[in-house]
Amino acid sequence: MYTRGRNSVFSFSSVTNSGYLYQLPFCTRSHSYLLSNLSMPSIVESSSEYDLIIVGAGVLGSAAAKAFGSDGRRVLLLERDLSEPDRIVGELLQPGGVNALTALGMEDCLEGIDGIPCHGYAIYRENEWVHIPYPVNDATGENAVGKSFHHGRFIQKLRAAARDTKNVEVKEATVTSLIKDEDDDRVIGVLANPKDGKEEKFYAPLTLVADGLFSKFRKEFTEKTPDVRSYFAGFEIKGLTMPMPNHGHVILVDPSPVLMYQIGSNETRVLIDVPGKLPSIANGDLKRYFEESIAPQLPESIRPKFLEALQTERLRSMPNGFLPPSVNQNNGLIILGDAMNMRHPLTGGGMTVALQDVVLLKELLSPESIPSFTETDVIIQQMGAFHWARKRYCTAINVLAMALYRLFSAQDSDLAVLQRGCFEYFKCGGKCISEPCGLLSGLIQRPIVLIYHFFAVAVYALVVEFKRAGWSQAHISFIKIFTVLYAACVTIFPYLWSETKN
């Protein structure tokens, strides 16, 4: 058996197996473990013992490895495939995410990847454009700037930053299961298969799982599952000059929006939201749907290149899910990123939330607060504080993403009224665009501002509807007061409520 010494992080006891002497560290607080719980041929040497194991080297995992390694923690970062990923989402980092990256000392990861500065959004509806610039960034005193890029290039820069950090070890291996203590169900490490196929065990008093949207370990943490209501189908357009360069473009079409933004010097990403079941890509149903239903609704300046790229570029899809956050209360285990909390990617808030989570977690689990990750009870308390403290920045981003998607997809007449009102509200300028865009960008972290503007949009939408219908339809407009306000309430309140629960 091995136990923790009273006045030290580790104490060791010797165990022999076939004449060999093994030195095993303490992995969790005030517990002893029988070696019979381990497979003796797989017992690993001291190099397989860490302060923190991170599963998944995506945005959150790589940033967390850098953050905790810089704090002097010995970190193991495990990733199934360390080659450059090729994804159609996670390609636009909002200004709030840029601020978080800077706070982590990783702003250089945005350089050398052919990234494109992003200064805001342009929204298109029924042959009209409205410009929504980012507000002033309080951190710099200048107009805020985001960055769009090829997702894989950004990830490789994050991984390189983690790998170059003292105390961080990066391994290519597939984590197959969590190792738990049989007595108290405490996670004490992971079982992983490197590419050579030889299974290895790695031990640490704390494991952080950030294995993304398709997390295999989510069930270890929560019974919640992602609510998938639509899919993004995407491809690249080469050589397209956007109507408003250096901006994200949201094109409101029937039945749901199209998102476009430049991700390189010559490449523009197109993401078309497809509600419900995704038509088959293999037999050409999806391509025909885009040609016949979506292309005719696009601006004329975009349509030819859109149709051309549709014939030549690879078409791929990703599910758009919603997963409300849950409090981390598992001994020895933290789950973060899309494995724990998701929102519709329409507003591009996922990476911003992930990086801000790392900033907050680094603060709450700092060596000054928790000298050793064997202090499990203290970590549980800090994770309770983390759950509520992150509401400051994640609530507005989560709720805005879902509410705005519901308005922009407008699947009934009352939501169509709200969509028209929202577009006209943005045309008013001033705080009608600066504060909503500040929420979207992660620069304004006050959910009450979101609630105020959402219902301001609802009221303004009723004014727009009355003017549009005229006095002859006043009786119908009067009824709309109740139905539209009801639609607004059922659009936003369920998502706000989901943020208040554990």
Domain limit, last residue, from 284, 305, 321: 321
Shared-domain flag, residues 59 and 187: yes
Q: What share of the chain is helix, strand, coil (3-state, %, to 5)?
A: 40, 25, 35
Shared-domain flag, residues 341 and 460: no
Q: What is the pLDDT of residue 502?
A: 65
Shared-domain flag, residues 373 and 242: no
Shared-domain flag, residues 60 and 172: yes
The verdict on residue 43 lying in a domain is no
Shared-domain flag, residues 388 and 480: no
| pLDDT tens digits, 100-125 | 999 999 999 999 999 999 999 999 99
The verdict on residue 443 lying in a domain is yes
191 pairs with which residues across the strands?
A: 177, 201
The verdict on residue 19 lying in a domain is no
CA distances from 231 to 32, 267, 321, 350, 397 (A): 48, 22, 8, 16, 19
- Among 340, 389, 330, smallest CA distance to 224 is for 340
Counting as low any pLDDT under 70, the low residues of the chain are 1-47, 502
Shared-domain flag, residues 483 and 342: no
CA distance 319 to 273: 10
3-state secondary structure 174-207: EEEEEEECCCCCCEEEEEEEECCCCCEEEECCEE
Q: What is the pLDDT of residue 470?
A: 80
Shared-domain flag, residues 331 and 471: no
CA distance 298 to 19: 74
DSSP code of 33?
A: B
Domain count, the chain: 3
CATH number at residue 197: 3.50.50.60
Shared-domain flag, residues 306 and 367: no
Domain limit, last residue, from 267, 296, 321: 321
Task: Please state the pTM of the whole predicted model.
Answer: 0.89
Shared-domain flag, residues 430 and 316: no
Shared-domain flag, residues 213 and 269: no
- Tell me, rounded to whole angstroms, the distance of Cα 247 from its chain centroid: 20
Q: What is the pLDDT of residue 423?
A: 97
The verdict on residue 403 lying in a domain is no
Note whether 17 and 43 are within 8 A (CB): yes
Domain limit, last residue, from 338, 360, 392: 392
Shared-domain flag, residues 313 and 350: no
The verdict on residue 11 lying in a domain is no
How many Cα neighbours within 13 Å face the side chain of 463? 10
| pLDDT tens digits, 366-398 | 999 999 999 999 999 999 999 999 999 999 999
Q: What is the pLDDT of residue 47?
A: 55
The verdict on residue 353 lying in a domain is yes
CATH number at residue 285: 3.30.70
Q: Rounded to the nearest 5 degrees, what angle is found at the Cα of 446, between the Cα atoms of 445 and 449? A: 125
The verdict on residue 259 lying in a domain is yes
Give the domain extent around 348: 52-85+152-225+324-392
Shared-domain flag, residues 270 and 360: no
- Among 109, 151, 428, 137, smallest CA distance to 267 is for 151
- Tell me, rounded to whole angstroms, the distance of Cα 170 from its chain centroid: 22
The verdict on residue 133 lying in a domain is no
